[in-house]
Amino acid sequence: MPSDAKRPIQSVWTRPQRPRREQPALSRDQIVSAALELLDAEGIDALSMRKLGSRLNAGATSLYTHVADKGELIELVVDEVYGEIEVPEAADPDHWREVATRCAQGLRSAILAHSWMASVIGGAWVTQLGPNLMRLTESMLAVFEKAGLPAAEADPAVSAFTAYVIGMATSEAAWLTTLARGGVSEREWAEQLWPAAEDAARDHPKLREQYAGLRDKDPREIRDDKFDYGLQRVLDGLATRLG
């Protein structure tokens, strides 16, 4: 009996596609589009093959022509979201930071627009085989190499770069989802919290000074500033390796 280690990894990207009927009732694109709408509207817990089939006016068995299970469906939808991100071009090496920044902002925006991604984006490494993510990764490798990063460092550089963006964005998405479930906006939450926060900081002068500077700022603006600060420091680090 073959060992588990020799079994192929189960993924929509690692198995041959099942033969299609001459006129299939549903296309893969239709299924992915409906799944994305369901996830955006109701979140990851609401996604099931049965519910998606009902949304498409088809039985759940119709979906299995294209995907083996819910996990494969999520792989497809995650890659669909990556397809929303502008693929950068490795043009003028002097402007590599601007290109990398636009890519980072696009990835962050995609995760925040589809907040359910926070719970699945790191759960299956096989999503790296999706065509949209592969195009994005290939482009970022080219950007860093053309900027002057040694070829052997391009892959870990892209990993460090995306790890920062995904880590920050998924934390933000999880937080915004929590607020949405409570029916409160960021600004409303901050206004409710400030009195307690300022009271707690009375014996901590550095925190007290920091809170005073943030008191009247839009919470979203604070998040944007913190994200950009960390991103630029990551790019500063990579800049030391150029040439």
Per-residue pLDDT averaged across 214-236, rounded? 95
Q: Are residues 168 and 235 in the same domain?
A: yes
Q: Are residues 110 and 227 in the same domain?
A: yes
The residue out of 82, 108, 126 marking a domain boundary is 82
The residue out of 49, 82, 115 marking a domain boundary is 82
Tokens of 193: 């919290």
Q: Identify whether 87 is part of a domain.
A: no
Q: Are residues 56 and 166 in the same domain?
A: no
Domain of 162?
93-239
Q: Are residues 45 and 165 in the same domain?
A: no
222 — pLDDT class (breaks 50, 70, 90): very high
pTM for the model stands at: 0.87
The residue out of 82, 105, 128 marking a domain boundary is 82
Q: Report the distance separating Cα 88 and Cα 90, nearest Å.
A: 7
Work out the number of other CB atoms within 10 angstroms of the CB of residue 122.
13
Q: Encode pLDDT of 100-133 as tens digits.
A: 999 999 999 999 999 999 888 876 555 678 999 9
Which ranges of 44-183 does DSSP label H, i.e. alpha helix?
49-55, 60-63, 70-82, 96-113, 131-147, 151-181
Structural domain total, the chain: 2
What is the structure's pLDDT at 23?
Answer: 46
Q: Report the distance separating Cα 53 and Cα 237, nearest Å.
A: 48
Q: Are residues 128 and 225 in the same domain?
A: yes
DSSP secondary structure letters along 187-218: HHHHHHHHHHHHHHTTT-HHHHHHHHHHTTS-
Q: Are residues 77 and 98 in the same domain?
A: no
Q: Are residues 17 and 113 in the same domain?
A: no
| For residue 4, pLDDT beyond 60 | no
210 against 92, higher pLDDT = 210
Q: Are residues 153 and 203 in the same domain?
A: yes
User: What's the number of CA atoms in the CB half-sphere (13 Å) around residue 58?
Assistant: 17
Q: Report the distance separating Cα 234 and Cα 164, nearest Å.
A: 8
Angstrom distances, CA of residue 102 to CA of 39, 87, 105, 157, 223: 26, 9, 5, 16, 17
Q: Are residues 97 and 145 in the same domain?
A: yes
CATH classification at residue 42: 1.10.10.60
- pLDDT above 70 covers a percentage of the chain that reads 90
Q: Are residues 106 and 217 in the same domain?
A: yes
Q: Encode pLDDT of 141-196 as tens digits.
A: 999 999 999 989 999 999 999 999 999 999 999 999 999 889 999 999 999 999 99
Per-residue pLDDT averaged across 31-50, rounded? 94
Q: Are residues 185 and 120 in the same domain?
A: yes
Mean residue pLDDT of the chain comes to 88
| Nearest partner of 133 among 93, 90, 173, 81, judged by Cα | 81
Q: Encode pLDDT of 9-27 as tens digits.
A: 778 877 776 665 544 578 8
Q: Are residues 162 and 108 in the same domain?
A: yes
Torsional sign, CA 98, 84, 12, 45: positive
